[in-house]
Amino acid sequence: MELDPVTEAFYAFAEALASTLGVERGEVERLIVKPPREEYGDYGFPLMRYARARGVEPREAVERVSETLRERGIDWASIELAGGFANLKVDAARAAGRLFKLLEKGWIPGPPRVEEPQVIVVEHTSANPIHPLHMGHARNSALGDALSRLLAARGHRVNRRFYINDAGLQAAYAVLGFKILGLDPLEAAESAGVKPDELVGWVYASTYTAVEAEAAKRSGAPREKLEELALHLARLEEAEPVTGALSRILDYMASSEDPEAEAAKILREVEFRVEPTASLARRVAEAALKGIRETLERLGVSFDAWDWETDLLWSGRVARILEEARRSRFYTRHKGAEALDIPRIVRELVEPDPEARASIKLPRGFEVPPLILTRSDGTTLYTTRDLAYTLYKYEVTGADRVINVIGAEQRLPQLQLRLALLGLGYRREALNLIHYDYEMVNVPGRRMSSRRGIIVAVDEILDEVKARAVEEVRARNPGAPREWIEDVAERIAVGALRFALLRTSAPRPITFDPEKALDLKENSGPYLQYTYARTVGILSKHGPIDYGSADPRECAEPPRRGLMIEALRLPVVAARAADSLAPEDLAVFLLGLADRFNSWYQKESVIHDPNPASRECKAALVELTKRSLEAGLTLLGIPLTPRM
RNA sequence: GGGCCCGUAGCUCAGCCAGGAUAGAGCGCCGGCCUUCGGAGCCGGAGGUCCCGGGUUCAAAUCCCGGCGGGCCCGCCA
The percent helix, strand, coil of chain A (3-state, each to 5) is 60, 10, 30
- pLDDT for the residue numbered A512: 78
Mean of pLDDT values over A79-108? 93
From the C1' of B6, which residue's alpha carbon is nearest?
A508
Q: Which of A624, A555, A618 is nearest to A91 (CA)?
A: A555
Residue A404's alpha-carbon distances to A17, A157, A197, A305, A433, in angstroms, are 35, 16, 24, 14, 8
The answer, as to whether pTM is greater than 0.80, is yes
Of all nucleotides, the one whose C1′ comes closest to residue A580's CA is B17
- pLDDT for the residue numbered A520: 63
| CATH 3.40.50.620 domain range(s) in chain A | 315-442
- pLDDT for the residue numbered A449: 87
pLDDT per residue as tens digits for the range A542-565: 999 999 999 999 999 888 999 999
DSSP per residue, A466-499: HHHHHHHHHHHSTT--HHHHHHHHHHHHHHHHHH
Q: Which of A409, A410, A408, A427 is nearest to A418 (CA)?
A: A427
Residue A430, pLDDT above cutoff 80: yes
3-state secondary structure of A424: coil
- pLDDT for the residue numbered A93: 95
A638/A490 Cα distance (integer angstroms): 11
Give the number of other CB atoms < 10 A from CB of residue A58.
Answer: 16
Tell me which residues from 136 to 195 on chain A have a beta carbon below 7 angstroms from nucleic acid strand B: 165, 168-170
Protein CA at A100 to nucleotide C1' at B49, angstroms: 51
- pLDDT for the residue numbered A405: 97
Residue A53, pLDDT above cutoff 70: no
- pLDDT for the residue numbered A411: 94
Q: Tell me the backbone φ, ψ of residue A401, rounded to 5 degrees.
A: -145, 145
Residue A484's alpha-carbon distances to A481, A487, A528, A552, in angstroms, are 5, 5, 20, 39
3-state secondary structure of A568: coil
Residue A292, pLDDT above cutoff 90: yes
DSSP per residue, A131-165: S--BHHHHHHHHHHHHHHHHHHHTT-EEEEEEEE-
A2/A14 Cα distance (integer angstroms): 18
Count Cβ atoms within 10 A of the Cβ of residue A463 and give its class: 0-12 exposed, 13-18 middle, 19 or more buried. middle
Residue A50, pLDDT above cutoff 80: no
User: Do A166 and A185 touch, CB atoms closer than 8 A?
Assistant: no
pLDDT per residue as tens digits for the range A481-528: 999 999 999 999 999 999 999 999 999 988 877 767 666 666 789 999
| Higher-confidence position of A27 and A350 | A350
A379/A376 Cα distance (integer angstroms): 7
Lowest mean pLDDT among A37-46, A442-451, A615-624: A442-451
Give yes or no for CB of A215 within 7 Å of strand B. no
pLDDT per residue as tens digits for the range A156-181: 999 999 999 999 999 999 999 999 99
User: Do A206 and A248 touch, CB atoms closer than 8 A?
Assistant: no
Residue A39, pLDDT above cutoff 70: yes
User: Do A287 and A189 touch, CB atoms closer than 8 A?
Assistant: yes
| Higher-confidence position of A310 and A471 | A310
A65/A124 Cα distance (integer angstroms): 43
Strand partners, A90: A77
User: Do A256 and A214 touch, CB atoms closer than 8 A?
Assistant: yes
Residue A79's alpha-carbon distances to A6, A540, A583, in angstroms, are 13, 39, 30
Is the complex ipTM more than 0.85? yes
Residue A598's alpha-carbon distances to A422, A520, A521, A525, in angstroms, are 53, 16, 14, 15
**Average pLDDT for chain A:** 93
| CATH 1.10.730.10 domain range(s) in chain A | 458-636
Give yes or no for CB of A607 within 7 Å of strand B. yes
Lowest mean pLDDT among A37-51, A118-132, A456-470, A510-524: A510-524
Nucleotides of B under 7 A from a protein CB: 2-7, 12-15, 17-28, 37-43, 71-78
Percent of chain A surpassing pLDDT 90: 80
Give yes or no for CB of A372 within 7 Å of strand B. yes
For domain A458-636, give the fold. Answer: Isoleucyl-tRNA Synthetase; Domain 1 (1.10.730)
The DSSP secondary-structure symbol of A347 reads I
Give the number of other CB atoms < 10 A from CB of residue A554.
Answer: 22
The DSSP secondary-structure symbol of A304 reads S
Give yes or no for CB of A279 within 7 Å of strand B. no
User: Do A328 and A423 touch, CB atoms closer than 8 A?
Assistant: yes
Give yes or no for CB of A337 within 7 Å of strand B. yes
3-state secondary structure of A436: strand
A264/A448 Cα distance (integer angstroms): 25
Of all nucleotides, the one whose C1′ comes closest to residue A412's CA is B73
Residue A578's alpha-carbon distances to A302, A433, A632, in angstroms, are 19, 17, 12
User: Do A125 and A296 touch, CB atoms closer than 8 A?
Assistant: yes
Give yes or no for CB of A313 within 7 Å of strand B. no
Q: Which of A1-10, A279-288, A345-354 has the highest mean pLDDT?
A: A279-288
Residue A52, pLDDT above cutoff 80: no
Give yes or no for CB of A383 within 7 Å of strand B. yes
- pLDDT for the residue numbered A521: 67
Mean of pLDDT values over A381-395? 98
Which CATH number applies to A5-90?
Answer: 3.30.1360.70
Lowest mean pLDDT among A11-15, A320-324, A458-462, A523-527: A523-527
Lowest mean pLDDT among A59-73, A135-149, A508-522, A595-609: A508-522
Mean of pLDDT values over A9-22? 91
User: Do A17 and A30 touch, CB atoms closer than 8 A?
Assistant: no
A590/A165 Cα distance (integer angstroms): 36
Count Cβ atoms within 10 A of the Cβ of residue A28 and give its class: 0-12 exposed, 13-18 middle, 19 or more buried. buried
Residue A55, pLDDT above cutoff 80: no
Give yes or no for CB of A492 within 7 Å of strand B. yes
A511/A45 Cα distance (integer angstroms): 36
A372/A333 Cα distance (integer angstroms): 8
In this structure, the dihedral spanned by the alpha carbons of residues A93, A94, A96 and A98, taken in order and rounded to 10 degrees, is: 170
Give yes or no for CB of A504 within 7 Å of strand B. yes
Strand partners, A77: A90
Q: Tell me the backbone φ, ψ of residue A571, rounded to 5 degrees.
A: -55, -45
Quick one: which H or E segment has residue A326? helix A317-327
CATH (one of 3.40.1710.10, 3.20.20.70, 3.40.50.620, 1.10.340.30) for A315-442: 3.40.50.620
Q: In what order do the strands lie in the sheet with A85-90?
A: A43-46, A85-90, A77-82
Give the number of other CB atoms < 10 A from CB of residue A224.
Answer: 8
| CATH 3.30.1360.70 domain range(s) in chain A | 5-90
Count Cβ atoms within 10 A of the Cβ of residue A296 and give its class: 0-12 exposed, 13-18 middle, 19 or more buried. buried
User: Do A634 and A146 touch, CB atoms closer than 8 A?
Assistant: no
A284/A278 Cα distance (integer angstroms): 10
